[in-house]
Structure 1
């Protein structure tokens, strides 16, 4: 059986210096990738990888079908030291910081903006759809900002106390927080007296 048709029976075995030198000689003589692969008796991927390592670092990323022509071009130079080039290792890949997650919509609001917008929307039922109110209240709950929204409402009611005659501020704040779905009492629950 001729050597060209023996196939990749060297697959998985370590490369020898003689095999690598044979590849260089074949490429210098004008052999194409298919011929080099058959004569090396290895897989095409393995042979292309080996030839790619003979290229300078800046040329190693060339497409697979361009490896043989690129190597042939370098081997035309009698001073090209492919053995030394194979010992070079590429620099480490740059550390690329993943992009920041940009949130949009209700989830993209800062805590302060979420508190202010939620309070404003909850003050006037006509200001937004029921879906938007539910999403705002849900986000406020998820972030644990219910207390801040209720504090905003308490501050708002304090400014209205005199003109509207609001006497029991605590009761108004509690009823409002229950009505809008926040259910936050003005005072935290304390354990009973022992």
Structure 2
């Protein structure tokens, strides 16, 4: 078992020059991490971190259990200046921001825009190609906006009720939603939140 240095526990206190020089002497003499930790009266991570800072920048990523051995190799060179190495700080890691996902086309529409455009296109069969209508209906289904499109059509019909003589708005909404592929049962869209039929 490694011999421990007498004295109070130094964990959490600032490192002194004397302590730092002592652990350098231990490593230079060939002591391993556990011996250096026991003799320093500090926590293992604190000692390893201190030793790691004495390594050249390019060697600081070595495994924790190899730090003392790596530093021992450098300290064999009489010209190695571990104090200068401690002053070096690695460059900051690059900030990597993932590219922003930009949705285009039908998928890029906000929910409100999708509801308005889908209702407008589905209201006039000549307003768009069959492919566009299918994509709009598919996106509305995928986002669960069936109820909103049907409600938009109900509001639209309510504004036409008097001039057009529409008596049963519910029946007109039901027929329209069935015709445009929003589902055969208008009320299912309001209560079920399931996929359209």
* CA distance 1:61–1:151, change in 2 (3 Å): same
Cα deviation for residue 5 of structure 1 reads: 6.6
Q: Given that residues 8 and 38 in structure 1 are in contact (C-alpha distance below 8 angstroms), is that contact kept between their aligned partners in structure 2?
A: no
The normalised TM-score by structure 1 is: 0.59
* CA distance 1:62–1:143, change in 2 (3 Å): farther
Q: Given that residues 106 and 114 in structure 2 are in contact (C-alpha distance below 8 angstroms), is that contact kept between their aligned partners in structure 1?
A: no
CA distance, structure 2, for counterparts of residue 15 and residue 21 of structure 1: 10
* CA distance 1:73–1:114, change in 2 (3 Å): closer
CA distance, structure 2, for counterparts of residue 84 and residue 188 of structure 1: 81
Q: Deviations over 1:78-106 (max 9, x none)?
A: 1110000001111111001135569xxxx
Q: 1:112 aligns with which of 106, 112, 115?
A: 106
Q: Secondary structure at the match of 1:4?
A: coil
Matched, 1:156 2:137: no
* Counterpart in the other structure of 2:4: 4
Give the total of aligned pairs: 139
* Counterpart in the other structure of 1:136: none
Gaps of 5+ in 2: 129-145, 160-197
CA distance, structure 1, for counterparts of residue 17 and residue 152 of structure 2: 78
CA distance, structure 1, for counterparts of residue 90 and residue 37 of structure 2: 25
* Counterpart in the other structure of 1:96: 96
* CA distance 1:155–1:94, change in 2 (3 Å): same
* CA distance 1:48–1:8, change in 2 (3 Å): farther
Cα deviation for residue 51 of structure 1 reads: 0.2
CA distance, structure 2, for counterparts of residue 182 and residue 7 of structure 1: 79
CA distance, structure 2, for counterparts of residue 153 and residue 186 of structure 1: 12
Cα deviation for residue 43 of structure 1 reads: 1.1
Cα deviation for residue 157 of structure 1 reads: 4.8
CA distance, structure 2, for counterparts of residue 41 and residue 158 of structure 1: 81
Q: Given that residues 9 and 42 in structure 2 are in contact (C-alpha distance below 8 angstroms), is that contact kept between their aligned partners in structure 1?
A: yes
The normalised TM-score by structure 2 is: 0.58
* Counterpart in the other structure of 1:163: none
